Structure 1
Amino acid sequence: MSLPFNVQRAQDRMGIEDPMADDPGLFHLSRTERLMAFGACFVIGLALSIIGSALVFTGHLAVFAVCYSLGNVVSLLGMCFLVGFKKHLKMAMAPVRLTAFIVYIAFLALTFVSAFAFDIAALCIVFAICQYCALAWYSASYIPYGRKIIKSTCGTFAKSI
């Protein structure tokens, strides 16, 4: 499926690359199916993260860690449907994203370790928050000026305190 004529013309004029054009993806989905899969992954991931966050207050630390982390991973996998799994992995290994990706994986593991091995709720929550921040920083690298916007927003917030 190609882009509508007016979008294709603007794309050609501006030299913008269509990330869905090159790689048919693992499942050979159409553009619409890819967007629907991305949306489904995002909604499921968000729901799992919210359920996990609610469960932390009931004392189910292990279930919180699993639901919250699984929700973040499912949301991240949703991006793979947009550009293809191979291309997404290749892009994750790019120098601009590699550190953020490794930090995200490290905080994901630390969330599980703090929940299962140490059983310390405060530490698990801190690692989960750090996991979310690392995922946001990693995801922002895909948005033009995304990291710059986060930096300026945090700087403005810090100055107001």
Structure 2
Amino acid sequence: MRKLKQFIAGDEDGDRGESFLEEDSDGSCSLTATQENVRFAACLAAGLAFMFLSLIVFVKPIKFALLFTFGNIFAVGSTAFLIGTGQQLTMMFDSTRVYATSIYLGCVVISLICALLIHNKILTLIAIVCEICALIWYSLSYIPFARTMLSNLMVRVFDTEL
């Protein structure tokens, strides 16, 4: 792919230097492993901090929903620094977890709408509970047989199936 770009740009020698923000041929930014790890840790720490702060303002459901939702977005998005944005999106919308991803993203949007536009505390809390359940189901999609085990557990405990 790089050779094709060089040919189209008229740079057959390939001596054109790439800037920091330009992407390599594999689609990832040219960061060192240490930089990727630091950015992952910072984004994950910000997400966890938002989620921790949301527990402090739990009695105010709208503030709780905003902090908790943004914390989730930061925490889930932090892995993009490790595997790349394209790879993360490919994994998120893989056929095994496309429904879990869609439901999770839908719950995130619904909780933000309930908190920011509707300003209804009960709807916001219901949306946050749905978001937490969707996040758990989405996270379990990355663990082999985890969703099957949870479904079997639900059948045994509650005599129902997910």
**TM-score (structure 2 length as normaliser):** 0.69
The aligned counterpart of 2:94 is 94
User: Root-mean-square deviation (CA), in Å?
Assistant: 2.5
Counterparts of 1:133 and 1:75 in 2: how far apart (Å)?
16
Alpha-carbon spacing, 1:153–1:33, altered in 2? closer, same or farther (3 Å)? farther
State the percentage of identical aligned residues.
Answer: 25
The aligned counterpart of 2:6 is none
Between structure 1 and structure 2, the one with the greater Rg is 2
Query: Matched residue pairs, number?
Result: 135
User: Does structure 1 conserve the Cα–Cα contact (< 8 Å) formed by 2:101 and 2:138?
Assistant: yes
The aligned counterpart of 1:105 is 105
Amino acid at match of 2:36: R
The aligned counterpart of 2:43 is 41
The aligned counterpart of 2:5 is none
**TM-score (structure 1 length as normaliser):** 0.70
Counterparts of 2:70 and 2:29 in 1: how far apart (Å)?
21
Counterparts of 1:54 and 1:155 in 2: how far apart (Å)?
35
The aligned counterpart of 1:62 is 62
Alpha-carbon spacing, 1:138–1:121, altered in 2? closer, same or farther (3 Å)? same
The aligned counterpart of 1:76 is 76
The aligned counterpart of 1:26 is 29
Alpha-carbon spacing, 1:95–1:47, altered in 2? closer, same or farther (3 Å)? same
Report whether the alignment pairs 1:150 with 2:153. no
Tell me the alpha carbon deviations over residues 107-147 of structure 1, each in whole angstroms, 9 at most, x when there is no partner. Answer: 11111121223222122112112112212211221222232
Alpha-carbon spacing, 1:45–1:101, altered in 2? closer, same or farther (3 Å)? same
User: Does structure 1 conserve the Cα–Cα contact (< 8 Å) formed by 2:40 and 2:82?
Assistant: yes
The aligned counterpart of 1:8 is none
User: Does structure 2 conserve the Cα–Cα contact (< 8 Å) formed by 1:26 and 1:85?
Assistant: no
Report whether the alignment pairs 1:53 with 2:55. yes
Q: Which moved more, 1:122-131 or 1:111-120?
A: 111-120
Q: Which moved more, 1:99-108 or 1:148-157?
A: 148-157
Counterparts of 1:33 and 1:56 in 2: how far apart (Å)?
34
Q: Which has the higher helix share?
A: 1
Counterparts of 2:147 and 2:40 in 1: how far apart (Å)?
22
Counterparts of 2:149 and 2:40 in 1: how far apart (Å)?
24
Deviation >6 Å, runs of 4+: none
SS in 1 for 2:96: helix
